[in-house]
Amino acid sequence: MVEDDAILGVDLKMTLEDAEYSVVGPAMAQAHRNSGSPPRMLDDNHVEGAILDINLGNERSDAIADRLDDAGIPVFFLSGHSASVLQERHQLKQILAKPHADAALFRMLPEHIGGAS
The domain ranges of the chain are: 6-112
Secondary structure element (H or E) that encloses residue 56, with its range: strand 55-56
Q: Say if CB 51 and CB 2 are below 8 A apart.
A: yes
Mention every residue, 6+ apart, whose C-beta is less than 8 A from residue 100.
78
Mention every residue, 6+ apart, whose C-beta is less than 8 A from residue 41.
24, 25, 27, 35, 47
pLDDT of residue 14: 95
pLDDT of residue 18: 95
- 23-82 pLDDT, tens digit per residue, is 988 887 544 444 456 667 777 888 889 999 988 888 888 888 999 999 999 999 998 888
**Greatest Cα pair distance in the chain:** 35
CATH architecture type of domain 6-112: 3-Layer(aba) Sandwich (3.40)
| Residue 99 preceded by cis peptide, ω within 30 | yes
pLDDT of residue 114: 64
pLDDT of residue 34: 45
- By C-alpha distance, which of 74, 72, 52 is closest to 63? 52
- Residue 4: pLDDT band by 50, 70, 90 thresholds? confident
pLDDT of residue 29: 59
